[in-house]
Each structure stands twice: as C-alpha cells, then as structure tokens.
Amino acid sequence: MPRSKRGGRLQSILFSLFFVSAVAPRAAEAGRRPFLFAYDSEIVPDGDVELEEWWWSESRIPTTEEHVGRSALYWFWFAPVFGLSNHLELALPFQIVAASNTTAVQSFWVEGRYRFFPREKEGGFQPLVRFSYRQAIQARVAPSSVDMDLVVTYGKATELHLSLDAGVSISLPWPENLPRPVTGTFSGGLAYPLSGEFRLSAEVLAEIQGNVASVPSNMSSFPRYFAGGAVSWTRGRVWITAGTMVGLTGLSAASPPFIPRLLWAVAL
C-alpha cells in the first residue's frame, strides 16, 4: 500500500512537470505564420517536426449577371512539417473539402520550402521559395497541379514585419475532362507585435486565372480580391493565427464576401 501511494505521488509529480513545461514561456521554435494566406520566411528548425492544421471556409457567392453563384464551402488542411536543414522544410499535407451536401478528400501533395539564408539569421530581407506537387483524388473536385511561390520578407518577428508573396498554380492533365487553368496569386501583409506573445496583421490577396476556353465566361470564379487581418499568438512551441479576409465584391462579384481562417501548429 505505501508503495502504491509513492507510485501515485511520483506520477502526479511527473504530470505536473510535463504540464508546466508545456505551458511555461520559452523561446519560440515553431515555424510561425502571422498571416492568413501570405507565406512567411520562417521555417521549422533543423531536426524538428511540426504538426500544422488550417481550417477555413468561403461564404456563399450570390448569383449576378456576370457570375453564377454557389453555396458556402469548407476546407480542412493537415500536415506534418519536417525541418530537414536550417534552409529547407518539407510538408506532406492532405486536404478535405466540404459543401452542404458532400464531403470529400480533395488532394494530397508534397511541398518544400527553401529559405535562402539560415533560419538563425533574423531581420533584413529574407527570400524563400515554395514548390509543391499536388495530386488530385477525385476527378470532380480539381485537377492535379504544380505550385510555386516566391516570398520575400523584411523585419524580425519582434518588430514591424513585411511579407510579399507571388505564386502560380499550373494544372496538370489529370483528372481528364477538366479545364487546365493557370492561376496566379499575389498577396502581402504587415505584422506588428502587440506584446511578447501577440501580433496583429493586415493583409491583401488577389487571385487571377488564365482564360479557359472550355468554361463559359459567366461561370468563371475569378478574379478574386480580398483584404483583411488576423491576430496571432505564440507561446513556446505552439502558435495560432486567426482572422478573416473580406471579399472586395465591388471589384469582382466572384469574390466570396468572407473567408474566415484559423491556422495552428505545435512543434514536437
């Protein structure tokens, strides 16, 4: 009986130590992202693994003379992210899409992000390139694609921080009988630290698409323009970013009125 009490007391002590170490302030080591859509130049440290999730939705698009409306859509993105070096991280995501009457696994892919300068070097200009191969699961959802981004940031996370991101998504010939668009994205954001753990950000996003002959002009879902903001919180090896983009429907009726988004990750 005394031995059982000692064992129980030891388990309580170990649990308390684990809990304190999990919530105690430490130097941030995760690959933080203060923006909702614009990529940043911070990556996962060499040898670390981060579990990252994105949740977001696009509100219903009303029918107009120029565009055919659609119901609201919802996405879930999940990936382990591996720090392969102080310059390179590798993500292995899969993505689920849902509507009012259906839910499906949309795609999975391999994604690499290469930072030109070592992760330990902070401040100044920090360029990064992102490249990925996305494999479609179902023919009715979306074609497979190759995606690329060029990201340039300026400033440390503890000061005014700027990010500019230009990307392109090139559709591949699978699945068959789908349009083969080339989609370009342009985004930028400013983040400012409110305290040691919180950052406030503002962001703009534009999405355009090349002409697709097989799609009638009134059924195109592009171009799309957005502006919005987010609040991010970092504590130790955990970070969370939440906010919303507001569609600039006056510039394009194809823009959803709202895109709320939540991103979070924990470094293991």
User: What tens digit of pLDDT does each residue of 182-206 get?
Assistant: 999 999 999 999 987 999 999 999 9
Mean pLDDT of the chain: 85
* 264, pLDDT greater than 90: yes
Is residue 233 in some structural domain? Answer: yes
What is the average pLDDT across 68-95? 94
Whether cis (ω within 30° of 0) applies to the bond prior to 93 is: no
pLDDT tens digits along 222-240: 899 999 999 999 998 899 9
Between 4 and 136, the higher pLDDT residue: 136
133 beta partners: 110, 146
CA nearest to 79, candidates 132, 34, 116: 132
* 76, pLDDT greater than 60: yes
Is residue 202 in some structural domain? Answer: yes
Domain of 91 in residue numbering reads as: 30-267
pLDDT tens digits along 142-152: 788 999 999 99
Between 26 and 267, the higher pLDDT residue: 267
CA nearest to 25, candidates 266, 268, 235, 240: 235
Is residue 8 in some structural domain? Answer: no
CB 163 within 8 A of CB 41: yes
Is residue 145 in some structural domain? Answer: yes
Tokens encoding 245: 């983009």
CB 265 within 8 A of CB 259: no
pLDDT tens digits along 9-68: 545 544 443 344 444 444 445 568 999 999 999 999 999 999 999 999 999 988 777 677
Domain count of the fold of the chain: 1
* 1, pLDDT greater than 60: no
What is the average pLDDT across 68-79? 91
CB 205 within 8 A of CB 180: no
Is residue 25 in some structural domain? Answer: no
pLDDT at 11: 54
Domain CATH for 228: 2.40.160.40
pLDDT at 179: 72
Is residue 7 in some structural domain? Answer: no
* 160, pLDDT greater than 80: yes
Is residue 252 in some structural domain? Answer: yes
Is residue 170 in some structural domain? Answer: yes
What is the average pLDDT across 246-257? 93
Distance CA(13)–CA(27), nearest Å, equals 24
pLDDT at 4: 46
